[in-house]
Chain A
Amino acid sequence: MPRGATRTNRSKTVHDLTRRAFLGTLSRCGLGACGFCAVAEWDLQRALAAERPESGPRREVEFFETLPGGAVRCGICPRHCVLNDGETGACRSRVNLGGRHYSRGYARPCIIRADPVEKIPLGHFLPGAETMTVAVGGCNLHCLYCQNWQHSQARPDKLKTFDLPPDEAVEAARQKGVKVIAFNYTDPVAFLEYAKDVAVAARKAELRIVAATGAYIEPEPLLDFAQYVDAITIGLKGFTNDFYETVCDAKLDGVLNSITTIANKTDCWLELVNLVVPTYNDDPATIREMVGWIRRNVGCETPLHFSRFVPMYRLTNLPRTPVTTLESACRIARDAGLKHVYTANIAPHDGANTYCHKCGASLIQRLGLKILENHIADGRCPKCRSPIPGVWK
């Protein structure tokens, strides 16, 4: 039984049950109570996992603490899940096996794709570059609107997977002729051990590494990973703790901490993305507060993408984000002094294009994930020769 797990009280009651009692509760609640069942699914898996033998490849987690009685306290994300023997963390991907902490689904990605770097989204990093994108199941966030919930909200070893050790991942990328390996679709925080090993191998092979993450992670493992990463897009999903707790099942501070860590302590190219969910995080005052924080703590040159919400997973009762909302969010960010503000997941839209922050010249014209025109030469505006922040070659 986990002690002091950082999950909120509401789920702790579920943790405290034995499997039999848990299933009993579930049947008493009536399986028709879908909402409850949906949350309980994770806990159910966790309860069942305790009695099921582990199989498949795994690798020991680097950041954890051994507790008395064979328990471990995970040190990857601010949840610090405390796991007894056989128990799985909130990310569904780390497990205590015989008093040792393992990353499950190691080298078993459930997604391998060739995508343009714009998919991350990255607007100022090698525009149009093709990536080999890899994702392993599981996530330490449980966002209600997750666009890849089938993979992120599942146990990595329960998905259909590929067998791709890190050196083979690099080889596959080279064979495909791509220069960038990306971690996207699910959060690399959940499969950090594999992501880091791939990144190390990629660095040796002179391939670049980019990652999209919710960045709900402790500074130490983040820095350990980021030293091998060339660009990172952090999803700053909202700017109130209430939002993070209600929608993402996380806490805002942990994410802000990661953003400043990347911005101030690494050479990683950083971009931020904010998915604007109608009625949840579209309040102009909060957006104003958020962009103010970004300007003060990260700087005005960091690109910020306001992404359009599409009804998904558990938020299917909401409309798509009105375009006007995205446009006004962009206006607020520009007024606050941010130089490169974008709309995402909406096309064709002028907000997706890059303009020179100095002279206003059109630099990159985009249509969805496609680059239609790119006029940036040597990282500068062709008209006024101002340097444009980013990684251009």
Chain B
Amino acid sequence: MPRITQSSCHIHRAVLLAWLAAWVLLPAAVPAADPPEALRDRTKSDFDEQAIHALDFMLTLSLTREQARDILPIIEDACRLHLDHHRRLAETQPERIEAYTAFLEEDRLNQGFSPKVERRAAQVHRQGVAIRDERAAALNDLSDRVWEHLTDEQRLAAEEYKPRREAVSDALATRSEKLRAARHRALRGETRPPRHHDGNRALDEARRERAELYRSVHEMPDNIATYLLSPAAAGWLYKRAGEERPDVVRRAVECQKNGTSDYPLEQCKKDDTTARALSREINNWNLVNGMHFSCEQIEELIRLIHKAENLKVALRHSRPPSGMSRRDYNAAMVQLELAAEDALNPGQLEVLKNYHPCLVPPQNLKNPVRVGQAADNTQMTRWLQQARTKPERRVEIMIDQLLEKEEHRFGEFGPDELERRRNLLRDTVRKAADMDDVEFALNKDALAEAIQPTNPLRELVGRIDELSRARLMPGNTAKFLLHKEMAEVLRIRHQQLTGPFASQRSRAGTEAAGASAHE
């Protein structure tokens, strides 16, 4: 395997990037133009940005021609994957929008969901998550194949690579443009430490942990998958290998640039934006439906949201040092958050405290609280009911299966944690098995509650909320309630509460049901 270190790359990276950008991205289209000028017209294109990041990544790795050749079949597979992903989006996105729209319509009425509408929304949501996760998993498999062809140094570089925002401007700008851009960034306050850095180690750690945990539950494409296995990287790799791009690669590049004739990129992006907006609105309605706000509460919340929005505008347009600082903004926002919490009753506060957004809230007939992912021990009760009657060997298998499922849902356990959890499950099953049927019936809920798995992601969200509050920063109440999309939802709910809000379904259907049941 070739061993080329980063130090062997003597040319300044920015110069090389600009040169490569001109060479790879625009060879045919604008051969005579000055690369930065030509690229500047196209900086709005995602494809170009992706291509530049891909170049930056490859420069970091310093791939040899032999390596590039070895990787080409993998790139071809990645291109196939990309085309297939686009095809799946074309098939599912319009349906997703349709299903979410129907769900939203019923959500707005707050009279429950037709089983068909509810099932469909949950189905397309799951499908969307599956498509995303499957793509990530498939790309990461390809990434593993690329990994085989890299040297240890390259592997390390790939692992540690962080996309540089400057990579794009390095490739695009002249020196004076860079200076101008830097001055703009300084004016916007971007030269200061990252925006979320607030000097609180606990809070930073919790945030980092949350991000890691999220990545461990939902497979995300790694750096190689993101930067090297993108069609945007294909052009460079084929040039590096000195080979012609096959048809599938050309098609994938075209697809990433413009989409396909039956599902143009523009439409794909539009659909994605629409689906995301619908999903956000559904979440807002779910929360409002679940909280059962009174008119007075809604009026107060809308008033507070207006204030919060004004604050956000003030922060956005402030010019340091005289303008509003983030600290001032946080303090004012916390005041609004406290005012919002004062407007809620203890039950609503309790719900908000445990609220975790969820597209289709699970129905739990034992508990009328149906908002977010309300905790429900029904599944654990059933599991326990089965396990208590099984022989020990079978119980161990059940525990293994359960742990595997939990790791899949919530991320991997540490070795100590895994052992603790296994022992808890084992002990609880034994306890349940020692009980007679009546005793178990009376204690099953308590036992199930004791072994109910905790979702570490949700715990972290709670911890971040608490740490933020301790640092006088706004927490979840502001995040979930004090934003302008929520104001719109609240305004409609207010109208519904004060105006005529009759049952939407007809009496005729009802009578038919009554007749069929008793006559």
Q: Which residues of A contact B (CB under 8 A)?
A: 10, 34-36, 38-39, 112-114, 132, 142, 144, 147, 162, 164, 168, 172, 175-176, 246-247, 249, 278-280, 308, 310-311, 314-324, 345-350, 352-353, 365-369, 372-373
CB-based contact B294/A314 at 8 Å? no
Given contacts A176-B443, A320-B112, contact A147 B518 (CB under 8 A): no
Contact between A317 and B505, CB atoms less than 8 A apart: yes
Q: List CB contacts (< 8 Å) of B349-407 with chain A.
A: 350-351, 365, 367-369
Q: Which of A311, A315, A350 meets B294, CB within 8 Å? A: A350
B513 close to A315 (CB less than 8 A): yes
Q: Does B111 contact A (CB under 8 A)?
A: yes
Tell whether B322 is near chain A: CB-to-CB under 8 Å: no
5 additional contacts (CB under 8 A) given A10-B519, A314-B514: A35-B519, A176-B439, A246-B518, A319-B112, A372-B350
Cβ-based interface call for B509 (8 A): yes
22 contacts across the A-B interface (CB closer than 8 A) = A10-B518, A10-B519, A35-B516, A38-B517, A114-B443, A114-B445, A247-B514, A308-B368, A315-B513, A317-B505, A317-B509, A317-B512, A319-B111, A320-B112, A348-B291, A348-B350, A348-B351, A349-B292, A350-B294, A366-B347, A367-B350, A369-B367
Contact call A114/B516, Cβ cutoff below 8 A: no
- B112 shortest CB reach to chain A, Å: 4
Q: State whether A39 touches B445 (Cβ < 8 A).
A: no
Nearest A residue (CB) for B500: A324
Asked if B507 CB lies within 8 Å of chain A CBs, one says: yes
Q: Tell me, in angstroms, the Cα distance from A175 to B509 when the chains sit together.
A: 49
Q: A113, A172, A310, A349 — which one has the most chain B CB atoms within 10 A of its CB?
A: A349
Q: B102-138: which have CB < 8 Å to A?
A: 109-112, 115
CA distance A10 to B109 in the complex (A): 38
A324–B501 CB distance below 8 A: yes
- Nearest CB in chain B to that of A343: its residue: B292
Q: Chain B contact residues: over half helix, strand or loop, or mixed?
A: helix
Interface centre among A164, A324, A369 (most CB of B within 10 A): A324
Cβ of A265 to closest chain B Cβ, rounded Å: 33
Chain B residues with CB under 8 Å of chain A are 109-112, 115, 290-292, 294, 345-348, 350-351, 365, 367-369, 437-439, 441-443, 445-446, 496-497, 501, 503-505, 507, 509-510, 512-519
Contact between chains at B443 and A310 (CB < 8 Å) = no
Contact of A175 among B294, B348, B439, B516 (CB under 8 A): B439
Residues of B with C-beta under 8 A to A365 = 345-347
A322–B110 Cα distance when bound, in Å, is: 7
Q: Which residue of chain A has the shortest Cβ distance to B517 in the bound complex?
A: A314
Distance to closest chain B CB from A104 (angstroms): 20
List A contacts of B437 (CB < 8 A). Answer: 162
> CA–CA, A172 to B111, complex, Å?
40
Contact A348 B442 (CB under 8 A): no
- Tell me, in angstroms, the Cα distance from A373 to B350 when the chains sit together: 12
A345 to B370, CA, bound (A): 11
Q: CA A63 – CA B303 in complex, angstroms?
A: 64
Known contacts A112-B438, A246-B514; decide if A368 and B112 are in contact (CB<8 Å). no
Flag if A368 contacts B368 (CB, 8 Å): yes
Question: Given A366-B347, A372-B347, is A278 in contact with B442 using a C-beta cutoff of 8 Å?
Answer: no
Q: Say whether B503 contacts A348, CB under 8 Å.
A: no
Residue of A nearest to B499 (CB): A324
B505–A368 CB distance below 8 A:
no
Q: Please report the C-alpha to C-alpha distance between residue A368 and residue B290 in the assembled complex, in whole angstroms.
A: 12
Given the complex of chains A and B, what is the CA–CA distance between A316 and B368 in angstroms?
A: 18
**Which 3 A-B pairs rank lowest in CB-CB distance, beginning with the nearest?**
A35-B516, A348-B347, A319-B111
Asked if A113 contacts B442 (CB within 8 A), the reply is yes
Residues of A within 8 A of B439 (CB): 172, 175-176
A172-B439, A175-B439, A317-B513 known; A367+B347 contact, CB < 8 A: yes
A172 to B442, CA, bound (A): 9
